[in-house]
Amino acid sequence: MNIALAQLNYHIGNFEYNTKKIIENIEQAKAKGADLVVFAELAVCGYPARDFLEFDEFIELCEKAAAEIATKCHGIACIIGLPVKNDILAGKDLYNAAYFIEDGRIKNIVKKALLPTYDVFDEYRYFEPASHFECIRFKGQKIALTICEDLWNINNNPLYVSSPMDELIRQKPDLMINIAASPFSYCHDDERVVVLSDNAKKYKLPLLYVNQIGAQTEIIFDGGSMVFDKKGKLVDEMPYFKEELKIYELEDGHFKGHEPIVHEAAPDIEQIYEALVLGIKDYFDKSGFSKAVLGLSGGIDSAIVCALACRALGPENVMAVLMPSKYSSDHSIDDAIDLVKNIGCKHEIIPIAAAADAFDQMMAPAFQGLPFNLTEENIQARSRGIILMAMSNKFGYILLNTSNKSECAVGYGTLYGDMCGAIGVIGDVYKIQVYQLANYINKDGIVIPENSIVKPPSAELRPGQKDSDSLPDYDILDKILFQYIELKQSSAAIIAQGYDEALVKRILKMVNNAEFKRYQTPPILRVSPKAFGMGRRMPIVGKYLS
């Protein structure tokens, strides 16, 4: 049997686009001799569709698209993912399901049993778990078809009390197929290989796994579809962050022309870079936007965001706005101009001193001679936000936020100032990783100016200001933040690792006190196992760990 895996980039709710893409790949797979072509989880509607799933019309459009796809399945079968109605009154109204289509007809409907409700997942909000399991018969073979999480209830600390494969294996299938919408994080590819390999090993069956690529607002899918033999050996791995259609010939339980290979993960920082570029590109393409604007300070964060945007959108579509204050150093302007020259984007220089002075004069009667403090610093940051939004409104630019994860974590930013924007590009990238990104971007030649990398970080909102005046050194701060945010360690557990008790408690208090700010920030491109946003849900007024 020749089985094609279609690793594609879908668009939530864009039925015409998704249907056309699926049909084109069915025709390509048929032309290349495939008997069956497999598409990803919820491919018809895109993942995650969220509350679109609560609209009857949305589900009807899914069914209409599936019917159109079925008309193209003659001489080839296909598997597509889509939501389907639950005809039983009790329970949720929908299933997360897959159609097996052959000879123009829907021959089988397979429903997902294990519905993740953690981190970015919220599937039990919409879907009823499957309770009946049956293999698909095709060309004399029995296929055990599962959907994403259905294969993840394996190894230590399983989240569910049973696994679909434990039921399906009793029917003596010949192979496993898993269709997925598995989001990217820089460590998730390694986890996938282990989980999928262990399934193939446990059930002693060859396994074909297809994932999708593309970004859906903050969630990024990286592809990396894989094939395993019945011993759990990886025999092929499709590209990451790239669409591809590939055919595998399965004969007597073996993939012809394939020998076991070793999964060689790209370095974390390379994966993060590719994910962020894809995240920016898809945010703009799928939203119908084309041009970006950002504030370019001469510092490393905005330089990185500018470089990423230029790679994703083309430098001709990126406007960098330099907004020096009375406290800005000459080298900051020079560093920003050097980046613009290196990268070829557009730029404007709009000083903010006049605006800040005007606000100071306006507020003087109310402030009654009170000394300069954080208030005046924030007025400068908000003046910059007003300028950037004016550029956005006047020219149709979409504003990119340039705050990093370390700043987001501790609230080191100004609401309605440097925290504004439509999409947070590096809000899931710690400051130490930002430096690593700079070195990666510069690997083939200087793009990020050296001075932007080596100089002490500063908001330049008062004389001689440095980040280290308000924050611990980033190499210490980021390690403690990682323990708390990604690893969910308590203050006591972090202190037990040897970190200073007062410092740990101060940092965790800053993180928790900044929750109200994070609720008002743009969506952040997710590249880590625990990003701010929909995957990390904390109360604003909570006392624990504060």
Q: Which active-site residues does the annotation give?
A: 41, 112, 148
Residue whose C-alpha is closest to residue 317's, from 338, 296, 346:
346
List beta partners, residue 245: 6
Q: Is the peptide bond preceding residue 539 cis, with omega within 30 degrees of 0?
A: no
Q: Residues 390, 417: contact at Cβ < 8 Å?
A: no
Question: Is residue 195 within 8 Å of residue 229, measured between CB atoms?
Answer: no
Q: What is the 3-state secondary structure (H, E, C) of 19-39?
A: HHHHHHHHHHHHHCCCCEEEC
Tell me the two tokens of residue 164: 């679909």
User: Phi and psi for 461 in degrees, rounded to 5?
Assistant: -110, 0
Nearest-CA neighbor of 264 among 212, 222, 224? 224
DSSP 3-state assignment of 492? helix
**Cα separation of 401 and 399, whole Å?**
6
Contact (CB, 8 A) for 150 and 158: no
Place of tokens 């946003």: 533
On whether the CB atoms of residues 44 and 82 are closer than 8 A, the answer is yes
Neighbours of 443 (CB within 10 A): 8
User: 3-state DSSP helix/strand/coil percent for the chain, to nearest 5?
Assistant: 40, 20, 40
CA distances from 407 to 267, 301, 309, 381, 402 (A): 24, 11, 20, 15, 10
Report in angstroms the alpha-carbon separations of 453 from 323, 400, 426, 427, 439: 20, 20, 16, 18, 9
